[in-house]
Structure formats: structure tokens, C-alpha cells
Amino acid sequence: MRWRDLGFILPFMLALLPVLAVASIAAGLSANLGAWLPLIVIFVVLPLLDVLCGADVSNLDAHDAERIDHLPYFRVLTLLTLPAWLLVLGYSAYMLQQLPLGAIGMVGWIFSTGVLGGILAINPAHELIHKSGAFERAVGGILLSSVGYHGFKIEHVRGHHVHVATPQDSSSARLGESVYAFVPRALLHNVRNAWRLEAQRLRQGGKSPWSLRNEMLMWTVLWLLLGVFSLWLGLLGAGFFIIQGLLAATSLEIINYIEHYGLLRTQIAPDRYERVTHLHSWNSSQRLSNWLLFNLQRHSDHHAIARRRYQVLVHHDDSPQLPAGYATMFVLALLPPLWRHVMDSRVLHSRRARGLSAAL
């Protein structure tokens, strides 16, 4: 293992942000300001540090990749995000009632928890649901159920990865589409499509869509049980549980918007497109943010070889490259005129480099 691989411990440092916020409030910081502290760290401090840490475009040679691919350390880290996230979720729900928060502070606290859910629950779940082992996939499902976006386990693998960079994929943003148009479309489609895909799978196996083998039913029951458990903090706790999940799912779809904006595969026949390669997703090899996100930003290679583990994902120089890490691009996406100013020319350049029409 290389010293740099210790950086993948950093997501667990983010799990301490709610504790840091409470400690700051206890030290005299206004509660309404302290509640926003996790978001300030994620979207202001981390982007600045990301620039200072620079990019890591190095790749492992074949021998090292084979060795590192099988080290338990990397797998254990993704599995440990489940207890880490559940502790964050429970602590944040409890402190919501204990802190002297006004309306502004309450909004900041819930938004902070939702964004942390995107990082600590959905992101590692994304890594886990692609794996061949049933245990890893199950942990991924539990993480997704904790934010109420368990359909992602089905739709992402059987829908998004099949149709990425085509008009059939609602998680691939179109050139000129704003994030505010994209996110509702993606959320609604992906939930519906998860139910459809699971019903289709069961019917093909001669089973009822309402059987106990329906993954969507199983994960929905788990989500409801977690929701009932949240009632120990009253209606405020239940409302917090639902809203943080919606915010985590929204954060995920904003990341999807960033990862695939404007990129298209060539149609080679009716309902047939060229094979998915590293040319069909945006890449970013910023060192710090890739540590924090288990190399999610090497997304081009992930789509080329979906089961490749995060620690051995490859940087491709000829992949479409984002100008910054995800935290910076997240903020930029919320400002559509600036987003289009930065990204549209890059989309057109990518299309021209592949010999495609800019008008596609």
C-alpha cells in the first residue's frame, strides 16, 4: 500500500463536521451560524484546499494494480461508512432538538446533514452496489435506504449504466439544460424506472412483482422502519429523516448532472449506440476531493469498467476533463449562466474532438 492511500480515510473526517459545529457553538459561535459550518467547510474550505493539493494523474502499473485491487483495507473503508453515517444521522437528528436553532439555523443544519448523506451514504453505496459480493451490495442497499433513495441500487446499474450518454438516460444532462430542470426529471424518472426494472426482472423469472423477492419492496420496508425509528424524536425527527434523504438524493443528482453534462454516444442503428468508453463521462483527478469521494471523480474510467474498484481507477488524458473538483463544480452548477459559460465550450470541444456535430 502506498502512503497516498491513507488519504481514503479522509471521508471519516467529514463525519466529524457535525461534532465540530456543535463544539464551535459551545465555544460561543452563534448557533444559527454554526449550523452552517459543515456546508462552509465542504463548499468553501475544501475547494480552496483542492486547488492547493493539485491533481494526481498517475496510474498504477499492471502489477501494482493487481496487488492493490485485492487489499482488504480499501474494501473495509467503504463498509465502515455504514456505521459512520448512521452515527452522523442519529447525532444530527438528536442535536437538531438540543441546539438553540432559529429557522435559519435549522435549515442550515438539515442541509448540512443532507449533503453529508450524499458524501457518506450515497457515494460509498455507489461503489458497493457495483460489486459482485452480495454482502457489499447489501451494505450499499442499507446506505441508500437510510436516505430513501434505494431505487438507485437498481436503476443506476441496470438503467443508467446501460443508457448513459443517450437520450434514454434521465441521469445524463443535455447540453443547455439547467440543473434546476434536470434534477426533478432525474429524481422522478429514476424512482419510477427502478420499480419498472424490478417488476420486469421478476416477471421474466415467472414471479409476481409483489413477491418478497422484489428488491424495491424490501428496501422500501427498511426505509419505513428507519422512519418509524426516527419518531423517537417526535414529528420533528421524522420530518428531519425524510428531508435529509431528499436533500442527499438531490445532491447525488447534481453530481450526476456534473458527471455527464452534454456528452453523447454515437447512434449506430435504431435503438443502438456505440459502446460506453472513458470518452462519455467527465473526469477530474483532483487529489484531495478524490480522497474524500473514493475516487468518484475518475468517473470516466468507472463507466468504462464499472466493476473496477475505486483504488485502481485509471486517469485517461483523453477523457473530457472538468476544470475543477466536484465541490467547486457543484456550486457552479447552481449558477446556470456561469455553468454554461464554463462548460458549454468544453462540451463542444469534446464533440469536435470525436468528429461529432456540435448540434447533436
Q: Identify which of 108-117, 211-220, 235-244 has the greatest average pLDDT.
A: 108-117
276-285: per-residue pLDDT in tens? 999 999 999 9
Mean pLDDT across the chain, nearest whole number?
95
Tell me which amino acid residue 159 is: G
75-88: per-residue pLDDT in tens? 999 999 999 999 99
- Distance in angstroms (rounded) separating the CA atoms of residues 40 and 45: 7
pLDDT of residue 142: 97
Examine the pLDDT at 355 and tell me if it is beyond 80. Answer: no
- Distance in angstroms (rounded) separating the CA atoms of residues 339 and 305: 29
pLDDT of residue 99: 96
Identify each DSSP E strand in 92-178 by its residue range: none
**pLDDT (average), residues 240-256:** 97
Q: Residue 187 is placed in which grid cell?
A: 429524481
Cα 28 from chain centroid? 34
335-360 CB burial, b ≥16 within 10 A, e <16? eeeebbebbeebbbebbeebeeeeee
**pLDDT (average), residues 213-231:** 91
Query: Sign (positive/negative) of CA torsion 174, 180, 186, 192?
Result: negative
166-198: per-residue pLDDT in tens? 999 999 999 999 999 999 999 999 999 999 999
* CA distances to 33, 62, 319 from 65, in Å: 45, 5, 20
16-39: per-residue pLDDT in tens? 999 999 999 999 999 999 999 999
DSSP state of 281: S
Q: Domain residues of the chain, as ranges? A: 3-252
| Helices 17-26 + 103-117 axis angle, to 10 | 160
